[in-house]
Structure 1
């Protein structure tokens, strides 16, 4: 601690210039200086679920690994400088490969996030997650959270023990976005490889590449690096649906369309008790004449049928090659089959059963 005599000497050396110290001092020299610039860091709750970002390499192949072998706390400990971005609290929700993601984990995540915000435990949430089903978890949470505070999902394409592991950088940038005031009111976001994507737009588009996540119809909503966060798209309106009290979602099947398609899978889905069917159709959500006859049988039996597409880009339009009005069908718009399935499940669970109401919900945020 500088003494009064030393401070006077410093003033004299600087030619009498006024000097304002950025610390306080006390007569008792055992008291540490107190900064006048107290920076309050945002509080970020990190919820770990497993995935490649928590994986360890395995010798079975050159790129083999076991997902979910590292805890969330261990992940955070391996990210230099992240503690300067936010005050972090880490909780382990699950530690599974994302191909094993399920409704039970979704409900745990949703309820923990809601509770954290309701009790003012956190200013934002970051979820570590495997990449295979990340877009589905993000879309589900986006539909049910209903809070302006940021919820960010991140992961990795390489396990934590790999050469040039991408997890630490993705984790750092996810926390950076979560802590940024610009992220408020944008719904659930996905942050990987220097890009920020909306839950509605994002999809995994490559099996192994680091730059696997793209938003083919909407594009990234922003970009992030260790120095900055830049959003390039305005915040979009969000629709929010209630979580079913019994933690159960109605059975909705996805049927993949192909050449020489018959109606067997559609008929079987109805027999198995499906309340909804999503068609991963050809082109603009099309199916064969035989399959369309099965679709008509399904709708007459009270099953809601949504036409999506197996094609990676573009919208599914109403009443083009298929007379949606005649058959009572729903066009998925920009939603791929896996996201269309989730939205249909939530709508059915919230008592929406008419094709018109469900079509309005699919089109609501466009």
Structure 2
């Protein structure tokens, strides 16, 4: 009962208050939230302990902020029902490891996280975290269904070296043994860790630390769903202490993209390969506005002969970049000299994010081939 009250009795994050090193009560006397400090970027910290790192949590909704009437429900709940301050106050232990500020970017299920939300996050992370020497890192709370896409996007666009940790949950906040609170505590701990620097964006869930570049959701239901099967984890968390297996290193072939002046991401579609696949799906995608296409091919990116001819036609006549990836979940689509673009070790979802980012920078066909070629043997 106490945990439920702690979750539900806290109001939403207050508006920006006047900066002060003293502990200030909110104007709203009906709330028990206090802010110790408001920094020049308008981030409100509930405490300011100079011995602890400063971490900002950007909330987007998802299962970690989900709610259901039945505490055994792990499906059919309302995603994004709880605000960021509710999540923060449900885990007071995080104030033992960091000074925390919360920002509500969105409050939706992850299928509704759009490219405009991703750009807003990247712009704000670069400003209020990367450009502020007093900030140690950031956490992004997110639904798990498309978490790997957001993580890959932030890995490519927020490259200052500070830890950007993406975290979610497989059980809603109202469920028995909800995993969100401890995942959130661990993610804040990692974001404030000096050992987490210069590793790119990270995904922290279920006591594991993974590189955002390769990690994927591998099971629709279980808590150990996020894995990089071939590449492995970067580290583990034991008793809320991060342990990294290796020194800081970035993935081979990683492409960083400066989105400072990017205001939109061109449309890129993903088409799934199957027996009797027809060409009209490819032409329809382009005719309806797709500026690029990713094929989730069978095996190492294969499609039937007729569809392969359609790919060649669009590349030759329209200069549409078409990337061949694989629907298998793991393995490489090797570099091709035939004209289309091979995804290397990037799955279809990550290939779509990278292709959209490259198109947003005005990159041409050969530049795109070169960028994907760095992720291949």
TM score, norm. by length of structure 1 = 0.84
Give the distance between the partners of 2:137 and 2:365, measured in 1 at CA.
36
Q: Report if the CA contact (8 A) 2:186-2:240 is conserved.
A: no
Q: Report if the CA contact (8 A) 1:244-1:350 is conserved.
A: no
Match for residue 86 of structure 1?
98
Q: Report if the CA contact (8 A) 2:55-2:139 is conserved.
A: yes
Match for residue 325 of structure 1?
337
Give the distance between the partners of 1:61 and 1:151, measured in 2 at CA.
32
Within 5 Å, which residues of 2 pair with 1:43-54?
43-54=54-65
Q: Report if the CA contact (8 A) 1:201-1:217 is conserved.
A: no
Per-residue Cα deviation, 1:122-170 (whole angstroms, up to 9, x for no partner): 2100111110111100100111112011100101000001000000110
Q: Report if the CA contact (8 A) 1:249-1:349 is conserved.
A: yes
Residue 71 of structure 1 pairs with residue 90 of structure 2 = no
Match for residue 125 of structure 2?
113
Of residues 313, 317, 321 in structure 2, which corresponds to 1:304? Answer: 321
TM score, norm. by length of structure 2 = 0.82
TM-align CA RMSD: 1.8
Match for residue 248 of structure 1?
264
Within 5 Å, which residues of 2 pair with 1:319-358?
324-326=336-338, 328-355=339-366, 357-358=367-368
Change (3 A) 1:93 1:346: same
| Matched residue SS, 1:277 | strand
Match for residue 369 of structure 2?
359
Q: Report if the CA contact (8 A) 1:257-1:280 is conserved.
A: yes
Rg larger in 1 or in 2? 1
Give the number of equivalent residue pairs: 322
| Matched residue SS, 1:334 | coil
Of residues 228, 235, 241 in structure 2, which corresponds to 1:215? Answer: 228
Change (3 A) 1:95 1:289: same
Match for residue 38 of structure 2?
none
Q: Report if the CA contact (8 A) 2:70-2:175 is conserved.
A: no
Contiguous gaps of at least 5 residues in structure 1: 1-37, 319-323
Shift in Å at residue 304 of structure 1? 0.4
Q: Report if the CA contact (8 A) 1:58-1:66 is conserved.
A: no
Shift in Å at residue 364 of structure 1? 3.2
Of residues 279, 282, 291 in structure 1, which corresponds to 2:307? Answer: 291
Give the distance between the partners of 2:308 and 2:260, measured in 1 at CA.
32
Change (3 A) 1:279 1:188: same
Residue 236 of structure 1 pairs with residue 246 of structure 2 = no
Per-residue Cα deviation, 1:2-31 (whole angstroms, up to 9, x for no partner): xxxxxxxxxxxxxxxxxxxxxxxxxxxxxx
| Matched residue SS, 1:44 | strand
